[in-house]
Structure formats: C-alpha cells, structure tokens
C-alpha cells in the first residue's frame, strides 16, 4: 500500500527530521524546538539565480531574524559539499541542510512547480513546534523573507500582549 503525501498546514505540529548540514553534522528540527522560532525554507537549487537571490535576501535580513529570536534553516536536495560552497560564496550565516532524496520535502508536502521544479516554500514554526505561517511562491523569492519577518513580528506582539494581559 503506497503512502500518501501529507501536506503540512498552519496549526500542525511541524514534523521532525534529521539531515546533514554543510559541515556534515546531523541537525534535527527538535534541536531548535523550545529554544527559538524557526524559519524553515525549501528552495530548488544552490547557485540558481532565484535561489541565490533568496539566500542573499535571508542573509541581508538575518539581523531582523535574530532580533525576533528566530533561526533560519534552508533545505534543498543539493549535497553538503554544494551547500558549503554556496554558503561560503554568498557568506550565508544560517544553516543549510541537504535533503538529497527529497524525503523532508515530501514529508512537508512541498509541491513541485509545473510538475518538475522542486518547490519554493517557507514555514514559520513557533518555539513550541507549531506551524504558524506557510508561504509558497516559486517566482517571488524575496517575498519569502518579507512574509517570514511579518509573521514573526506578529507572533512576538501576541506573546507580549499575552504577557501583559
């Protein structure tokens, strides 16, 4: 019996996974749960124009993510060696993980574009491991950063409001 691809939705607990980082270190989502909010973004390919633009936009806005106490994690099917070169060339300060067989992409239900290109999707996951926002757009890579920052700011306003109330 074939297993169905499940699509993660807002309000779901983010599925845990373990993948290799660019240094070969095993990194799991659970390593961040309870410590930070997470911006998990799936992108098609290291060094492609849109993916480079997206990664550099995350880099250029990295302080805004740190200010919101969030960790940025990028995932593609590229090898850890490709990620190491991509991160070095673009001075990326965040985690890149290698999902060579596409298992985590499938676990999250990230759709292909035109049935061929690996999709581009961003998940904002709160400190408790709950998906709070999903943005998917192959052709607006910079919008992923805007959406993530806006969502994190909203989450933090809600936290402040709850503390005060």
Domain CATH for 100: 3.40.30.10
Domain count, the chain: 1
pLDDT, one tens digit per residue, over 93-126 is 999 999 999 999 999 999 888 778 899 999 999 9
**Res 4: pLDDT:** 47
Q: Are 23 and 97 in contact (CB under 8 A)?
A: no
Average model confidence (pLDDT) for the chain?
92
Active site residue 51: yes
Report residue 165's pLDDT band, with 50, 70 and 90 as the boundaries.
very low
CA-based angle 122:125:131, to the nearest 5? 85
Catalytic residue, from 27, 51, 73, 148: name it: 51
In a domain, 63, yes or no: yes
Please tell me the predicted confidence (pLDDT) of residue 114. Answer: 79
42 band by pLDDT with thresholds 50, 70 and 90 = very high
The reply to whether 8 falls in a domain is no
pLDDT at residue 116, as a whole number: 80
* Residue in the structure block whose two tokens are 């960790």: 71
The separation between the first and the last C-alpha atoms of the chain, rounded to the nearest angstrom, is 50
Give tens-digit pLDDT for 119-140: 999 999 999 999 999 999 998 9
Range of the domain at 70: 18-164
Is 5 a member of any domain? Answer: no
Report whether pLDDT(164) > 80: no
3-state helix vs strand vs coil in the chain, percent to 5: 40, 25, 40
Average pLDDT of the segment spanning 28-36: 96
Q: Is residue 157 predicted with pLDDT exceeding 90?
A: no
For residue 12, tell me if it sits in a domain: no
């Amino acid at each position: 019996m074939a297993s169905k691809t499940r699509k993660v939705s807002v309000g779901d607990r983010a599925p845990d996974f373990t993948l290799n980082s660019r240094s070969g270190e095993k990194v799991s989502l659970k390593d961040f749960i309870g410590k930070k909010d997470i911006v998990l973004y799936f992108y098609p390919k290291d060094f492609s124009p849109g993916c480079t633009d997206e990664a550099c936009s995350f880099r250029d806005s990295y302080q805004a993510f740190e200010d919101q106490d969030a960790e940025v994690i990028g995932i593609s099917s590229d090898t850890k060696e490709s990620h190491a070169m991509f991160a070095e060339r673009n001075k990326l300060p965040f985690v890149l993980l290698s999902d060579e067989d596409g298992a985590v992409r499938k676990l999250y239900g990230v759709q292909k574009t035109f049935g061929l290109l690996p999709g581009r999707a961003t998940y904002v996951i709160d400190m408790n491991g709950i998906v709070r926002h999903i943005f998917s757009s192959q052709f607006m890579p910079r919008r992923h950063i805007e959406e993530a920052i806006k969502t994190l700011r909203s989450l933090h306003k809600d936290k402040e409001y709850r503390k005060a109330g």
